[in-house]
Chains A and B, each alone.
Chain A
Amino acid sequence: MTERRSMRLTVNGAVRTAQVEPRLNLADLLRHEFGLTGTHVGCEHGVCGACTVLLDGATARSCLTFAVQADGCAVTTIEGVADPDGALHPIQAALARHHGLQCGYCTPGIVMTLLELQHDLDGAPIDEPALRRAFAGNLCRCTGYQGIVDAALSVLNAGAAEPCPSPRPDPAGKGHA
């Protein structure tokens, strides 16, 4: 243990200060000091992506980021994504509509990754393979990703023509066996 350091940062628009051990990571600061438990920790080695937050607008793995590295930065967590009036962000709403979450543990990290992608695309369309590569750094064990893909495409390509191939007509016939 070493002496604590003072730090100051903006979290979801509010200025926060903290006295932290240098070894404290950003995820633990957010979760355990600030009570923002929506940021989840899945692997603690930067692969699963559940802990993804926006650090000055860019995605960061909060499990691999020391809290002191965020000194002076603006952090956005999942708690800061919905409108202050409570309305879900379109990406959040689409995830529900397309069954893009099951247990919900990876969901906050996926939302943060898709927010950055939406910002970077700036209205340009994206195809499915590119989208899948864009969030391949977020592991989900429940969904098989398909609902997440459909949700993201529906929002990111909302301005464009329908990007997904529509389901093929059903040659097998309908209904009951």
Chain B
Amino acid sequence: MSAPACTWLGRSVPRLEDGPLLRGLGRFVDDIRLPGLLHGAFLRSPHAHGRLTAIDAAAAEALPGVHGVLTYGDLRRVLTCDRIPLAMPAGAIRFDVDPFVLARDEVCHVGEPVALVVAESRAVAEDALALIGLEIEPLPAVVDPRAGLAPDAPRARLDCPDNRVAATEAAYGDVDRAFAGAAHVVREAFNLHKGGGHSIEPRGVVARFDQAERLLTVWDSTQMPHQAKRALVRTLGLAEHQVRVVAPDVGGGFGPKFVFHPEELAVAAAAMIVGRPVKWIEDRLESFTATVQERDQHWTIEAACDAEGRLLGIRGDLVHDHGAYTPYGVALPYNSATNLLGPYRLPAYRLAISLCLTNLVPATPTRGAGRPQGTYVMERLLDRLAERTGLDRAEIRRRNLITPDQMPYRTPLRTRDGKAMTYDSGDYVECQRRALALAGWDGFEARRAAARREGRWLGIGLANYVEGSGRGPFESAAVRVGPSGTVVVTTGATAQGQGTVTMLAQVVAEVLGIAPERIAVVAGDTNASALGLGAFASRQAVTAGNAAHAAALAVRAKILQVASAWLEASPADLELVDGRVQVKGVPGSGRALGEVADALAGAPGLALPAGVAPGLAAGVDFEPEGLTYCNGTHVVEAEVDPDTGTVAITRYTVVHDCGRLINPMMVEGQIVGGVVHGIGSALYERMLYAEDGQPQTGTYADYLLPTADVAPRIAIHHMESPSPLNPLGVKGAGESGTIAAPAAVASAVEDALRPFGVRVADLPITAARLHGLLAAAGGAAP
């Protein structure tokens, strides 16, 4: 059954989310007030590594207003296990380094939670923290993962025999033979830093345990309420019906809120122990020192091509800073390794990947999830090969792009679920061509020359990328129409600003012929949807969108079946318009959807109409066949001030293809936001640690996020290559903007400084770092 011509899909429908948020009537975790609510504050390790030898809580417990000072031993009494079982399955992981709810006998990074104070107010709880006597015997810390892999390195954790927590590789083809026959080989080391998620709303948890019902309710600023529920059920020994996790309005996710953190369990356990609801809201210093972050990768890599600039092989090593615990397996560096291929044909490849434990916050995905680094390495290598071969940077890319006639293109690599990494659709050649045309690539030398006459140094750069989006294994959505006529969509998908509610309402509106604003979408509540995964891997339009679409089609079929009997018309002669089902072209001939729902809700002892199964509702768990690959090209113009090393981005062009667009306005919002996040990674964001593992950047005065005055205006052009892998033909868009930005910016900066001979390799390209490179280069060639 097909829906009528599109009414709601592909339109920039205003967002349903906006009204309350604009009025200050959103409901974020810290906005939740409950009777008897107490407040938590965490005592955190001041050392990067050490043995926890004593905690003296007597003075803190005696402070008026304090209801409890809880340590590992106190919480362990209500837990089923010592550690929080979080690790994603990965055969390559050698050690069990799941975290404890609070540090047990060893602290492994600055900021690791050691004790939880519960008090009448947050202020009193923080007063009490200062009264706790904490004894830690410091141990040597591992900060640089390269040093951590040395045979004589100190151990980052006493319970692991060494620091190489995992080793894996991405490899295919005869790479050594490829290099032996190459016309050109380039080698380079790239030290790549990627910043944290930095949602403006920090993490936060409110937990309430109803002793009579034995019912735990947790409001959690999370991307993954269903996963949080699973962790709570398992660790607290409760059954599924006794735990409800709700993600209310969430003030940004960007990856870290994917991960279940120890604080989420600690606050829930504390609520059970003290018998009162407990709230904990992370402060910003805690965000810097205890929220998972993405951080350092060190690549040593070489690329080979033939005399015409065609890639023959890439080989090298990647050392990945894993942090102190393992909440995410090997996915992060594996994403880097696989996304290196990008939209190019690469005949042979071997990347050896080592994950090193360090005494730093665990490293897990932030927006882009390791892909920007892989893309960066490939694109920098192509720039190097362009220089070596004398080809234009765009031309060497064009020669290596996968062509449309090769689609679907099966790469020799495998994705996390073991399936072949296959690009499903797209026209990468046309995408780059359009980007170059829109950005005026061919006319740039005139702009460069004009700028030089004004004493300005201008450069241009480009980068291509793909992103595997819409990761499975499934997402759930149900559509139900009640006798009131209200259409309710419930889903396991979650919202942190992406517009998930509007997107799902549009999809269902299209099928049921009812305006999106008349559809209620309930996302982020484990009581609303039995199954669900949540927000990661730019997946929800693909997975939840298609689930809601299929569910709405099933509901539509039921409506037509009932109405066909009632109206004595063939289903083919019926239409759904404005909340009614009617004979085509005969307004007023039909019945309201609420009437159909009322009939299918049943009456005691009476038959349902038309032999239709009960209830005007359907639920679908959509299982994508595989990842669907969006792609794009970024072209950047940047001006560099050689005196200060400051970079200003003057033009930014994106051509992007995420398949069929559901809401172009929201897709553009995702891309622009992603690009500016990527510009942060490229130029500003750097989490610094001293040699002893002490964080050096704990405020937004030290750690710079992109601000409105440095963010460029971004021109976006859409292509729409529908994905053959799902009925809506959609692909993900949420992270793609971040992926190419660092590579394109680096290419432009290096191009601007070509007369100085400056080579841009490491990220971020801070003004201080670039100034250092300029000083070392010794000035412009005449």
Contacts and interface: CB of A to CB of B under 8 A. Distances in A.
Judge: A and B partners, yes or no. yes
B453 interface: no
Interface string A98-112: 010111111110010
B15 A99 contact: yes
A101 B497 CA distance: 8
Contacts, number: 205
Interface string A146-172: 111100000000000000000110111
A54 interface: no
Nearest to B284: A43
A141 B673 contact: yes
Interface residues of A, number: 68
B717 A88 contact: no
B498 interface: yes
| Listed residue (A21, A96, A145) with the most chain B CB atoms within 10 angstroms of its CB | A145
A44 B283 contact: yes
A97 B22 contact: no
Interface stretch (B81-89, B171-179, B196-204, B565-573): B196-204
A88 B23 contact: yes
Contacts of A144: 669, 672-677, 706, 711, 714, 737
Interface in A5-24: 21, 23-24
A99 B14 CA distance: 8
B23 A136 contact: no
B23 A141 contact: no
A84 to B, nearest CB: 12
Contact of B709 (A41, A42, A133, A168): A133
Given A103-B252, A132-B708, A141-B254, A170 B438 contact: yes
B127 A1 contact: yes
A132 B426 CA distance: 36
B22 A47 contact: no
Nearest to A111: B22
Given A47-B699, A142-B673, A177-B431, A82 B23 contact: yes
Contact of B18 (A36, A37, A39, A101): A101
Interface string A122-147: 00000011011101111111111111
B711 A132 contact: yes
Nearest to B707: A136
A31 to B, nearest CB: 7
Interface in A32-48: 35-45, 47-48
- Indicate the size class of the contact surface on chain B: 35 or more
Contacts of B435: 172
A103 B672 contact: no
Nearest to B713: A146
Interface stretch (B26-34, B131-139, B327-335, B476-484): B26-34
A23 B677 CA distance: 35
Contacts of B427: 177
A136 B709 contact: yes
B17 A104 contact: yes
Contacts of A78: 23-24
Contacts of A48: 200, 700
Contacts of B200: 40, 42, 48, 50, 103, 105-106, 139-141
A69 B22 CA distance: 27
A53 B737 CA distance: 32
A2 to B, nearest CB: 11
B426 A177 contact: yes
Contacts of A45: 284, 699-701
B431 A102 contact: no
Contacts of B674: 144
Interface in A42-72: 42-45, 47-48, 50
A143 B200 CA distance: 12
Given A42-B202, A136-B709, A145-B676, A92 B30 contact: no
A108 B20 CA distance: 11
Nearest to B197: A141
A38 B28 CA distance: 9
B22 A95 contact: yes
A88 B30 contact: no
A37 B700 contact: no
Contacts of B364: none
Contact of B669 (A23, A102, A108): A102
A172 B717 contact: yes
B14 A96 contact: yes
Contact of A177 (B15, B202, B283, B657): B657
A141 B705 contact: yes
Given A132-B711, A149-B708, A175-B720, A97 B23 contact: no
B406 to A, nearest CB: 14
A36 B466 CA distance: 44
B30 A104 contact: no
| Listed residue (B21, B426, B737) with the most chain A CB atoms within 10 angstroms of its CB | B21
Nearest to B436: A172
A88 B21 CA distance: 11
B492 interface: no
Given A23-B123, A103-B497, A105-B251, A39 B24 contact: yes
A137 B710 CA distance: 12
Interface string B651-670: 00001010000000110110
A167 B737 CA distance: 20
Contact of B252 (A96, A105, A145, A149): A105
Nearest to A103: B497
Interface in B115-167: 123-124, 127
Contact of B714 (A23, A96, A146): A146
B496 interface: yes
Interface in B435-488: 435, 437-438
B249 interface: yes
Nearest to B425: A177
Given A103-B250, A128-B713, A171 B201 contact: no
B437 A172 contact: yes
Contacts of A105: 26, 28, 199-201, 251-252, 497
Contacts of A50: 200
B493 to A, nearest CB: 15
Nearest to B657: A177
| Listed residue (A36, A43, A103, A167) with the most chain B CB atoms within 10 angstroms of its CB | A103
B499 interface: yes
B435 to A, nearest CB: 8
Contact of B249 (A24, A99, A104, A139): A104
B708 A142 contact: no
Contacts of A24: 123
A121 to B, nearest CB: 17
Contacts of A104: 17-18, 21-22, 26, 249, 251, 497
A108 B25 CA distance: 10
B529 interface: no
Contact of B201 (A42, A92, A132): A42
A143 B284 contact: no
A54 B643 CA distance: 39
Contact of A139 (B19, B655, B705): B705
B781 to A, nearest CB: 32
A65 B426 CA distance: 53
A142 B734 CA distance: 10
Contacts of B283: 44
B442 to A, nearest CB: 11
B384 interface: no
B566 to A, nearest CB: 40
Interface in B692-738: 699-701, 705-711, 713-715, 717, 719-721, 737
9 contacts: A36-B24, A95-B22, A102-B497, A102-B498, A132-B708, A141-B677, A145-B676, A145-B707, A177-B404
Given A79-B24, A101-B18, A132-B709, 9 more contacts: A41-B30, A44-B283, A105-B199, A106-B200, A133-B708, A139-B200, A142-B497, A144-B674, A168-B438
5 A-B pairs with least C-beta separation: A38-B24, A103-B497, A104-B21, A105-B251, A78-B24
